Amino acid sequence: MSGSEKVLVALVGHPNCGKTALFNALTGLRQKVANYPGVTVERVESDLASDLGHPLRVLDLPGAYSLNPQSEDEKITHDVLLDGMGTDARPGVLIVVLDATNLRLHLPIALEVRELGYPICVALNMIDLAEAAGMQLNVKYLEEALGCRVIPTSATRKYGLGPLVEAAAKLASSEFDASKTQWTPSTREQIILRRKSVEDILRRTVVVPGHPSLFTTRVDRFLLHPFLGPLALLATVFLVFQAVFTLGAIPTDWIDGVISSFASWTRSQLSSGMLSDLLVDGIISGVGAVLVFLPQILILFASLLILEDSGYMARAAFLMDRIMGRVGLSGRSVLPLVSGFACAIPAIIGSRSIQSPAQRLATILITPVTTCSARLPVYTLLIAAFIPNTVVAGLFGLQGFVLTLLYILGAVSAFVFAGLLKAFGLTGAGGYFLLELPTYRLPSMRTVLRGLLDCARAFIVRAGTLILSIMVLLWAVSTFPRPPEGATQPSISYSLAGKLGNIVLPVLEPIGFNWQISVAMIPGFAAREVLVSALGTVYAVESENSDDGASLTEKIKTDWSLPTALSLLAWYVFAPQCLATFAVMQREIRSLRLTLLSFTVLLVVAWLAAFITYQVASKLL
Amino acid sequence: MTGSDWLIVPIVAVAAFVVLRKLLVGQSKKECGGCSSCSRKKTTAGH
């Protein structure tokens, strides 16, 4: 049976009720899950896992508080249920996912969806947490009240999946014509009536209400405190970046040693010539230069995943709401912006969960300034080369402190840009912010490890495909044309890259960049971390003796001045060096004018920041 | 260029193909979040 013949079973429910966790459990896929609302902003579908024994396809939809869409992601759910988003692929069965610990909030969507006429069943999810909180639910009565099967489930523990699939499969065999589905926005009277029904249902369903999580209440008293809360947030950020340096140093040195040994071994195995130069100077030096930063990137991702899964990220959004309001944003923008620490692309897509179009636009436009993980190799390389590894006040490392400052500078810049957008009338005033604060929980080891595995795989695949290919091309343009007979300068000076570097140099010289940086900067526009690889290749080709044992860190330490390094750091806080980010920005805001404007403004600001940094540092240092 | 040095020609050609493909085709479906509703048949507008 082909995928198109299988009945589509859609998961519908509030944000953060565990739809994606259930989807992953049913399909065996690994879509991103986290303990805060608004993680899923796209529709994703896949076949039901074969061991569950039914030929069904499962569709995960973004969370929605009602069928009347208030944001782009809720609109997806609305469109899929009401017109299949213009395709034939409308669901044949709906599984309404409810958070068993918070039925008062979640039941209204079940009643609203029921009115559409779809065959439905209910997954009473997080039943394990409800039981742990001492709740007792009368599932039989809930079934009677909703007029459909209600199956207690725990997606994370894979509990109740068999009965849920059986119920969905049974519904799938019934006759249903989705094209006859009708929907009109609920009137005030309908909403009030639904609320009354919810209260009636709750009275007989919740036998014992259970007790709220005392742990969450107590911890929130401290973490959401108006004064202590922001301090705890700052301390958390600081600890993460200290960990990036202190914990990352040992495996980074180890990988660096392995790559150097591999380069020497490769050169010793090949007769000297162009193939040897390409493999060692182009590929191993270039790709190796960025691969050594894998441990640091994994530590950053692990920290983000733990904070997301514990429920703290939603608190960070809550804490930032008041500050964000001053620049026309709200705490809602914080969640996608924080995910921008990993990568700007999912952050831009994630902004679909923001209800206000003006706030969404502002969030997208400032996202490229948030410090994505691709900047980490550049920052780490420069900090390791130029900032002494000393302990300040006997408490923290100076290198980690400088890294934290760079991240804070990125966040402050994003805040200033948002303020400017508001001042120029491009975005509106900050709106209200409602956020369901999830209960704290111990981060799931499986979620964190899977996230890390995906991150490591994506990083290595990227290094082994795109970055490797760019390095091969960079080596070629750094090697050809060959120097003339009797040439006195290094051969790279006569190459195409050398000439290109000299053409760009007049623009970059006032900000302290040498021609090696100028050459590496050109491919660096494909992606930020490519600069590090490109520097590895350019210095290897230039030295024409890359097995001298000197690492890239040592080479730039002897070749660059401190003002040049600081200038490059300032450049990288703002520079729009990721074309994919702007491609996604254009797709999401559908305005080429604004996308180009954003790119140009960031480029000019990057140059000015680097210029001021270089000139001031040259005078002072 | 002699002997094995000629091997750099196909290596550079493949690298150029990979980079050009990335530039022309743009983001892969996997990188855009794996949304199956567009399947490259229509734009991703609206979802």
Confidence of residue A416 (pLDDT cuts 50, 70, 90): very high
What's the ipTM?
Answer: 0.74
Helix axes A139-146, A103-114, angle to 10 degrees: 30
Give the residue with greater pLDDT, A443 vs B39.
A443
pLDDT tens digits for range A577-593: 888 889 889 888 889 99
Mutate to test the interface with B, among A472, A541, A584 (most CBs of B within 10 A): A472
**Contact residues, B window 7-36, toward A, CB-based 8 Å cutoff:** 7-8, 11-12, 14-16, 18-19, 22, 26-27, 31-36
Least confident of A37-51, A166-180, A334-348, A518-532: A37-51
At A218 the pLDDT is: 92
Q: Can you name the CATH fold of A3-211? A: Rossmann fold (3.40.50)
> What average pLDDT does range A302-311 have in this prediction?
89
What does the mean pLDDT of chain A come to? 88
Q: Domain extents for chain B?
A: 1-47
Mutate to test the interface with A, among B4, B7, B11 (most CBs of A within 10 A): B11
Percent of chain A with pLDDT over 70: 96
Could you give phi then psi for residue A329, rounded to 5 degrees? Answer: -110, -175
Is residue A374 scored above 50 in pLDDT? yes
State how far the Cα of A541 lies from the Cα of A562, in Å rounded to an integer. Answer: 24
Give the residue with greater pLDDT, A551 vs B37.
A551
Confidence of residue A326 (pLDDT cuts 50, 70, 90): confident
Spacing of C-alpha A604 from chain mean position: 26
Would strands A396-397 and A391-392 be described as parallel, antiparallel, or unpaired?
A: antiparallel
On chain B, the residues whose CB falls within 8 A of the CB of A580 are 26-27, 31
Tokens 């567009």 -> residue: B38
Mutate to test the interface with B, among A275, A454, A477 (most CBs of B within 10 A): A275
At A579 the pLDDT is: 83
Is residue B29 scored above 60 in pLDDT? no
> What average pLDDT does range B4-10 have in this prediction?
87
Is residue A70 scored above 60 in pLDDT? yes
Nearest CA to A92 out of A107, A81, A101, A102 is that of A81
Which of B4, B45, B46 shows the shortest C-beta gap to A273? Answer: B4
Q: Domain extents for chain A?
A: 3-211
Distance from A462 to chain B by nearest Cα, in Å? 11
| Contact predicate A154/A160, CB 8 Å | yes
State how far the Cα of A246 lies from the Cα of A517, in Å rounded to an integer. Answer: 28
Which of A46, A274, A349 shows the shortest C-beta gap to B33? Answer: A349
Question: Are the beta carbons of B5 and A274 separated by less than 8 Å?
Answer: yes
Least confident of A30-34, A341-345, A505-509, A570-574: A30-34
Q: Is A419 exposed, middle or buried (0-12, 13-18, 19+ CB in 10 A)?
A: middle
Least confident of A210-224, A440-454, B25-39: B25-39
At A110 the pLDDT is: 94
Would strands A56-60 and A44-47 be described as parallel, antiparallel, or unpaired?
A: antiparallel
State how far the Cα of A245 lies from the Cα of A403, in Å rounded to an integer. Answer: 9
At A544 the pLDDT is: 64
Question: Measuring CA to CA, how many Å separate A116 from each of A146, A147, A196, A418?
Answer: 13, 13, 19, 41
At B46 the pLDDT is: 30
Is residue A566 scored above 70 in pLDDT? yes
Distance from B7 to chain A by nearest Cα, in Å? 7
Residue A383 has a CB neighbour count (10 Å cut-off) of 22
What does the mean pLDDT of chain B come to? 63
The token pair that represents A470 in the structure block: 């760019």
Confidence of residue A258 (pLDDT cuts 50, 70, 90): very high
pLDDT tens digits for range A590-599: 899 999 999 9
Give the residue with greater pLDDT, A12 vs A526.
A12
On chain B, the residues whose CB falls within 8 A of the CB of A583 are 26-27
* Stretch (H or E) spanning A20: helix A19-27
Q: In chain B, whose CA is at the least distance from the CA of A467? A: B19
Return the amino acid letter for A472.
Answer: V
Q: What is the DSSP string of A239-297?
A: HHHHHHHHTTHHHHHHHHHHHHHHHHHHHHHS-SSHHHHIIIIIIIHHHHHHHTTHHHH
pLDDT tens digits for range A100-154: 998 999 999 999 999 888 999 999 999 998 998 889 999 999 999 999 999 999 9
Half-sphere exposure of A324 (CA within 13 A, CB side): 25
